[in-house]
C-alpha cells in the first residue's frame, strides 16, 4: 500500500463495507482486508432465515433497545437510522417490505442479492477487497498483515477496524483481534443466545416445536415473541429479547396465556371436569397447544391447587447461556471510552473502529445490522475527514 493517501479497512462485514464505501465516495483509495475467502459471511448466514435489515418504529423506542450503555452511539444511530437503512437498500435496487411487527426485510428475503449489488457498487468506486488477509497488530505505525503471499507491513494514512464480535468463529467473528488492543476491551459475553435446559424424557416429542402466543419476562425486559424447544434448551426471538437480563441473573417467567387475566383463567379452570383428567381438562378449557401444557408439567410439578398464577408466571429453570460461539451476537468488545466521538482510538490517531467489535449489544429485530451500518458509515466518514485534513 504505497499510496500515502490510501485507507485500509480491516473486516468485510456490513460495518467494514459501509466504511469502505464512505471513504471511496470521498475520493480516497481503499483496500479492504478480509481474513476469510469471501466477504460478509455472517451477514449472508443471517439472511438465510430472512434478512431483517432494520425496524420501522419511533426513534426513541428504537434507541431504547440498545440500552443506556450504548448512549454514546445514539447520535450515530440518529444520523443513520431505520429510514436511512431503507433508503440505502432501495438505492441498491432491493425492494423492501415491512412486517406486522415493524421489521423490515428485502422482498427477496435473502442477503445475497443485496450483497452482490453492494459489492458491484464498491468495485465501481475502486474499492479493492483482499481475501485471506488477517490482521496481526502493529509494528509502530505499520499495520501487520498475514497474507497468502506472506507477511506484509502496510502504511495506510487511515485505518478502520471492523473486526466483528466473538460468535460464529467459522464465519470470521472469532474475537482474536482483542490481543492487539490490550487493556481496551471489555470481556466478551454471549448476546441474543439460547439457554441450556436439561429436559426430562416426556419433553422429547416436543423438541423442535415453536411455542407461540406467550409473553416472556426477565428483569425489566419483556417480549411477546415465540420460543423454540431445542435439544439443547430454549432458543428463538422471544428468548433473545430478554437474554441480556437472563445473562445478568434475572429469572425467566413465561406467561402461557398473556391475553387472559388471572381471574379469567380461574373461571375457566373452575369449570366442572367430571371424570376428565386434569391434562384433558386443561386442553379443553384453555384451548392451548400441547407444547404449552408440556412446559407447565415440566416446570410446575407438583401442581398447586390454584394454577392460574403459575400459568401467568411460570418460572423456567435453565443451566445458563448456550456456548458463545452459538450466540447470534456478543456483548463486550472495544470499550466506547477508548474512542472519541468520531470512533477514533484515543491512543492511536488515524485509526477508527466500528461494528460489532464495539462494546454494545441489542436484540435481534433489525437493531444489530442497523448499528453495524451506522457505525461503519460514521467511522468511514470520520476517516475520510481525517485524510482530507
Q: In the chain, which stretches have pLDDT less than 50?
A: 1-5
Q: Are 216 and 239 in contact (CB under 8 A)?
A: yes
Cα separation of 261 and 386, whole Å?
59
User: What value, to the nearest 5°, has the Cα angle with vertex 122 and ends 120 and 125?
Assistant: 115
Q: Are 218 and 236 in contact (CB under 8 A)?
A: no
The whole-number pLDDT of residue 67 equals 86
Task: Tell me the three cell numbers of residue 202.
Answer: 416426556
The whole-number pLDDT of residue 69 equals 82
The whole-number pLDDT of residue 48 equals 82
Cα separation of 354 and 359, whole Å?
10
Question: By three-state DSSP, how is residue 249 classified?
Answer: coil
- CA-wise closest residue to 368 among 334, 336, 328, 338: 328
Strands of the sheet containing 314-316, edge to edge, are 221-223, 215-218, 252-255, 314-316
Spatial neighbors of 156 by CB under 8 A, at least 6 apart, are 1, 6, 7, 8, 31, 143
Q: Are 327 and 193 in contact (CB under 8 A)?
A: yes
Strand stretches in 93-220, DSSP E: 96-98, 103-106, 128-131, 134-139, 142-147, 150-154, 158-161, 185-191, 195-196, 210-211, 215-218
User: What value, to the nearest 5°, has the Cα angle with vertex 188 and ends 183 and 193?
Assistant: 170
Q: Are 202 and 359 in contact (CB under 8 A)?
A: no
The whole-number pLDDT of residue 9 equals 98
Domain with CATH 2.40.30.10 in the chain: 195-316
Domain with CATH 3.50.50.60 in the chain: 7-189+328-388
Signed CA dihedral, 86, 90, 92, 98: sign only: positive
The whole-number pLDDT of residue 56 equals 96
Task: Tell me the three cell numbers of residue 125.
Answer: 468506486
How many separate helices (H) and strands (E) can be counted in the chain? Answer: 12, 21
The whole-number pLDDT of residue 47 equals 79
Q: Are 96 and 86 in contact (CB under 8 A)?
A: yes
DSSP string, 252-269: EEEES-TTS-HHHHHHHH
What pTM was computed for the model?
0.93
The whole-number pLDDT of residue 134 equals 97
The whole-number pLDDT of residue 4 equals 45
Q: Give the helix/strand (H/E) hosting 53.
A: none
Q: What is the 3-state composition of the chain as percent helix, strand, coil, each rounded to the nearest 5?
A: 40, 25, 40
Is the domain defined by 195-316 classed in CATH 2.40.30.10? yes
Q: What is the topology classification, in CATH, of domain 7-189+328-388?
A: FAD/NAD(P)-binding domain (3.50.50)
User: What value, to the nearest 5°, has the Cα angle with vertex 159 and ends 154 and 163?
Assistant: 100
Cα separation of 179 and 202, whole Å?
46
The whole-number pLDDT of residue 2 equals 40
Amino acid at each position: 500500500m504505497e499510496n500515502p493517501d490510501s485507507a485500509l479497512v480491516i473486516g468485510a462485514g456490513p460495518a467494514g463495507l459501509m466504511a469502505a464505501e464512505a471513504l471511496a465516495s470521498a475520493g480516497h483509495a481503499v483496500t479492504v482486508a478480509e481474513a476469510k475467502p469471501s466477504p460478509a459471511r455472517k451477514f449472508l448466514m443471517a439472511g438465510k432465515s430472512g434478512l431483517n435489515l432494520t425496524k420501522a418504529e419511533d426513534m426513541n423506542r428504537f434507541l431504547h433497545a440498545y440500552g443506556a450503555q450504548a448512549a454514546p452511539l445514539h447520535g450515530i444511530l440518529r444520523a443513520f437510522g431505520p429510514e436511512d437503512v431503507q433508503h440505502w437498500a432501495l438505492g441498491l435496487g432491493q425492494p423492501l417490505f415491512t412486517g406486522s411487527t415493524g421489521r423490515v426485510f428485502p422482498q427477496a428475503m435473502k442477503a445475497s442479492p443485496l450483497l452482490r449489488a453492494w459489492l458491484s457498487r464498491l468495485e465501481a468506486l475502486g474499492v479493492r477487497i483482499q481475501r485471506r488477509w488477517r490482521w496481526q497488530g502493529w509494528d509502530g505505525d505499520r499495520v501487520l498483515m498475514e497474507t497468502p503471499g506472506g507477511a506484509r507491513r502496510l502504511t495506510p494514512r487511515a485505518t478502520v477496524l471492523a473486526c466483528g464480535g466473538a460468535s460464529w468463529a467459522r464465519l470470521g467473528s472469532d474475537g482474536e483481534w482483542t490481543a492487539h488492543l490490550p487493556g481496551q476491551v471489555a470481556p466478551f459475553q454471549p448476546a441474543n443466545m439460547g439457554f441450556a435446559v436439561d429436559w426430562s424424557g416426556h419433553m422429547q416429542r416436543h423438541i423442535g416445536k415453536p411455542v407461540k402466543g406467550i409473553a416472556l419476562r426477565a428483569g425489566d425486559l419483556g417480549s411477546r415473541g415465540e420460543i423454540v424447544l431445542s435439544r439443547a434448551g430454549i432458543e428463538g426471538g422471544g428468548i433473545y429479547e430478554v437474554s441480556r437480563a437472563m445473562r445478568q441473573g434475572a429469572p425467566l417467567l413465561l406467561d402461557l396465556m398473556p391475553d387472559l387475566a388471572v381471574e379469567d383463567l380461574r373461571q375457566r379452570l373452575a369449570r366442572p371436569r367430571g371424570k376428565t383428567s386434569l391434562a384433558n381438562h386443561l386442553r379443553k378449557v384453555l384451548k392451548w397447544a400441547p407444547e404449552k401444557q408440556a412446559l407447565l408439567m415440566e416446570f410446575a410439578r407438583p401442581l398447586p391447587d390454584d394454577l392460574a398464577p403459575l400459568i401467568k408466571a411460570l418460572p423456567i429453570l435453565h443451566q445458563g447461556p448456550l456456548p458463545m460461539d452459538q450466540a447470534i451476537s456478543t456483548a463486550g468488545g472495544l470499550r466506547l471510552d477508548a474512542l472519541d466521538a468520531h470512533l477514533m482510538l484515543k491512543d492511536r490517531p488515524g485509526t477508527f473502529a466500528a461494528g460489532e467489535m464495539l462494546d454494545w449489544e441489542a436484540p435481534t429485530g433489525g437493531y444489530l445490522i442497523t448499528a453495524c451500518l451506522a457505525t461503519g458509515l460514521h467511522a468511514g466518514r470520520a476517516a475520510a475527514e481525517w485524510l482530507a485534513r
